[in-house]
Amino acid sequence: MISPLNSSAAFFRRSLDDLSSLRGEAERLQRAIGTGERIERGSDDPVAAARLRALDRAQALGEVDEANAFRAAEELALGGDTLATITDELFRARDLTIQAASESLNDSQRALIAEELDTIRQSLLAAANTVSIGDTPLFGGEGSGPAYVTDAGGAVRYVGTVQPGEIDVGQGISIERGVTGPDAFGFPANGAQTDVFAFLAALSASLRDIAGDPASAARAALGGFDNALDSVNRAQTVIGVRAAWIDTVQQTQVNLDEARSRERAETGGADITETIAKLQQTLTVLEASQAGFVRLSNLSLFDAI
């Protein structure tokens, strides 16, 4: 014969377990409504949980690729803006050289033009040593210091690397982060390779050389300016092409991100309407179970005698 006390204890345990299970289910449904996620543990849906973990890994890698692409876009944009400034400075130097080529100028006036060319040279040097958002030299390739330095004799030398360096933007794709100083500022003049710094220094010295023919030197330098501007223009074109390609890469990254978000919602997302309906149903059953438990727990064997 089963003891009434044991029977009552079993009833209470079962009832409490059922109520606890219903409360747990209601809380789970409420969390699903709040978070929009239906899976809390892998055991809820092992296949879907595995796919969600894969999507999380892909999302983490995608965020790194997006950050790298943003960095590449910023560096290319900065490079393009800097080259535009350099172009303006070269046009200003060319205009001054045209003035210096006039026979009507005296030595003092040409000396003033030479001083202004020196100032422009220093401005170009500062632009050539522009650093990127990552605090690396914009035109120094993979180097960590300035792209150009001035030696004891006043000559400007390139100290960066030959390669501009690459930025990995994912999917096995990398892009060169810009152009090197020699690519942007180097050009041929009078049958020899030079750069804007050596060219302007030589021109400035020629304009101060009253024993020579400064007007003729100025006229001879005009072709060098054309070559210098062509070199900078080519560098701008290269940067523009790469920037356009980065735009395409970034749009692809946005599309992939949206695709992962949709798949995540389809795989592990909660149907809010259905979840609310289930919550209401669970709360109704919980309320009825609590009321029934209270009524039954108030009964005893003596009430039936």
Under CATH, what is the fold of the domain 57-263?
f41 fragment of flagellin, N-terminal domain (1.20.1330)
Q: Is the pLDDT of residue 302 over 50?
A: no
Residue 305 has pLDDT above 50, yes or no: no
- State the pLDDT at residue 144: 82
With a cut of 60, say whether residue 282 has pLDDT above it.
Answer: yes
- Residue 64 half-sphere exposure, CB side, CA atoms within 13 Å? 9
Domain ranges for the chain, please list them.
Answer: 57-263, 272-305
What's the pLDDT tens digit per position in 15-25?
Answer: 555 556 656 55
Average pLDDT over residues 255-273: 74
Look at residue 299 and tell me whether its pLDDT is greater than 80.
no
189 pLDDT tier (thresholds 50, 70, 90): confident
